[in-house]
Amino acid sequence: MNILMIAPQPFFTYRGTPFSVYYRLLTLSELGHKVDLVTYHLGEDIILDGLTIYRSWKFPFVKNIKIGPSFIKIFVNIPLFFKVLLILIKKRKEYKIIYVHEEAVMFGVLFKKLFKKKLIYDMHSSLPQQFENFNFCNFRLIKSIFRWIEKKGISHSDFVITICEDFDKKAKEYGCSNTELIPNTRFDIISGIQFKKDVNKYSFVEQFLKKEKKEKKEKIIYYCGTFEDYQGIPMLLEAFKYVNKKVNNTKLLLIGGYNQQVEKMKKYAEELGISHLVLFTGMLDPNYVKKTLKRIDILTSPRDSGTNTPLKIYEYIASGIPIVATNIYSHTQLLNSDIAFLANPDHIDFARAILECIQNDRVAQEKALNAKNLYAEKYGTEKYKQKLQKVIESVSVYS
């Protein structure tokens, strides 16, 4: 099957949705499909069988695009739109399916009608909800417009792929009866990404992980992800300070974040008096990140808002390492007290959950094993492949 995929992100970069796009591409490649991916001018090229990457024309002075909604994305999507249009004009007979991610559904619907193709919408997030999560353009009219766009995008799609129960319910409510919930991660292959350029490995973390860990039986507490406000990084730092007062053989490793965000949190750690126990790495090569997990004791997700299940949670449950997370709906769609330590989104209760995890090792290991078994049963690689193939076959039958 020849598929035209549109990803309005800097692909590939080390952040949530580009990882999700990669997992979809890898699986489609393994299933024998050919994909032409149209994406932004930013990002690293990757190597996959059957994949051809087309990049939109460079937009002047744009060298980076931050996570979440932004005015710059509006302008960068213009050359992306015309790049897709040109490809469809030249190669319209080659494609049976247009597969869109995120806000590309806005022009995916138009291309579907113009070129008489079937449309798959991969709904990694809710467009109006992103405005709330990132405190962006907080006007009721703007949110209403994007809510309308989301509704129309869903109702005009032939199939909607969702990444959590909340989005699956929303897709059905908005009029798409053909939906499939496919988590946006495949933990088995995170270390298998091949780039056309060599990506430097970051070995400076080794000293932090190894130093006196065995002798002092240190516990390494871990966070990996973005540093956006809704992720609760300040709360995690405050909780760690409280934990370290009770148990003084702990360290905190935080992977991710842009330089400005990292520097801000470093200063906050200094203010809290814990900077000597905390390592901020910034963004790392995912191949190296996976290796660090072998030496981690506790995984955390201090997120304080949202309804979509974070990509990291699926990776966490697959790891066999105890998890501490907030008890918000983003997490509790997947996590429960059988597989994780849950806490209210405040630093005292989050610290309480971390301490409980440290002080009850038997219970912690039981929860971690339960989580790993759940991943194998419901979200393993074969399940992922079967679901994605089902979507492609269901749409292609009517192409």
Mean pLDDT calculated for residue range 285-289? 76
Superfamily assignment of 2-186+380-396 in CATH? Glycogen Phosphorylase B; (3.40.50.2000)
Three-state DSSP state, 274: coil
175 Cβ neighbours under 8 A, 6+ residues apart: 151, 154, 155
Q: In what order do the strands lie in the sheet with 51-55?
A: 51-55, 34-39, 2-7, 97-101, 118-123, 159-162, 179-181
Q: What is the pLDDT of residue 30?
A: 95
Mean pLDDT calculated for residue range 131-139? 61
Out of 75-79, 183-187, 361-365, 378-382, least confident range: 183-187
Please give the Cα distance from 204 to 154 (Å, whole number).
45
| Better-scored residue on pLDDT, 268 or 288 | 268
Q: Is 220 in contact with 213 (CB distance < 8 Å)?
A: yes
Going from N- to C-terminal start, the domains of the chain cover 2-186+380-396, 205-378
- Decide if pLDDT at 78 tops 80: yes
159-177 pLDDT, tens digit each: 999 988 889 998 999 989 8
User: Got the DSSP string for 53-104?
Assistant: EEEPPPPTT-----SS--HHHHHHHHHHHHHHHHHHHHHGGG-SEEEEEGGG
Q: What is the pLDDT of residue 283?
A: 85
Average pLDDT, rounded, for the chain? 88
Instruction: Give the phi and the psi of residue 134 in degrees, each rounded to 5.
Output: -105, 10
**CA angle, 70 as apex, 67 and 72 as ends, to 5°?**
110
**What is the bridge-based pairing of β-strands 179-181 and 97-101?**
unpaired
Residue type, 230: Y
Element (H, E) at 349: helix 347-359
Instruction: Give the phi and the psi of residue 98 in degrees, each rounded to 5.
Output: -105, 125
Q: What is the pLDDT of residue 92?
A: 87
- Decide if pLDDT at 399 tops 60: no
Q: What is the pLDDT of residue 212?
A: 52
CA distances from 278 to 238, 254, 396 (A): 12, 8, 51
Please give the Cα distance from 389 to 33 (Å, whole number).
10
326-341 pLDDT, tens digit each: 999 999 999 999 999 9
Q: In what order do the strands lie in the sheet with 341-343?
A: 278-282, 250-255, 219-224, 298-301, 323-326, 341-343
Confidence of residue 198 (pLDDT cuts 50, 70, 90): very low
Torsion angle, alpha carbons of 152, 155, 160, 164, to 10: 80
Closest CA to 186 of 393, 27, 309, 300: 27
Residue type, 219: K
Please give the Cα distance from 261 to 77 (Å, whole number).
25
89-100 pLDDT, tens digit each: 999 899 999 999
262-276 pLDDT, tens digit each: 999 999 999 999 999
Confidence of residue 68 (pLDDT cuts 50, 70, 90): low
Choices 3.40.50.2000, 3.30.420.40, 2.40.30.40, 2.60.40.10: CATH for 205-378: 3.40.50.2000
Confidence of residue 200 (pLDDT cuts 50, 70, 90): very low
% of the chain exceeding 70 in pLDDT = 89
342-383 pLDDT, tens digit each: 999 999 999 999 999 999 999 999 999 999 999 988 888 888
Q: What is the pLDDT of residue 208?
A: 82
202-259 pLDDT, tens digit each: 667 777 887 555 555 789 999 999 898 999 999 999 999 999 999 988 999 999 998 9
Please give the Cα distance from 96 to 117 (Å, whole number).
6
- Decide if pLDDT at 128 tops 80: no
Helix 16-30, helix 381-396: angle, nearest 10: 70
Q: 2-186+380-396 with 205-378: one CATH topology?
A: yes
Instruction: Give the phi and the psi of residue 143 in degrees, each rounded to 5.
Output: -60, -40
Q: Is 344 in contact with 327 (CB distance < 8 Å)?
A: yes
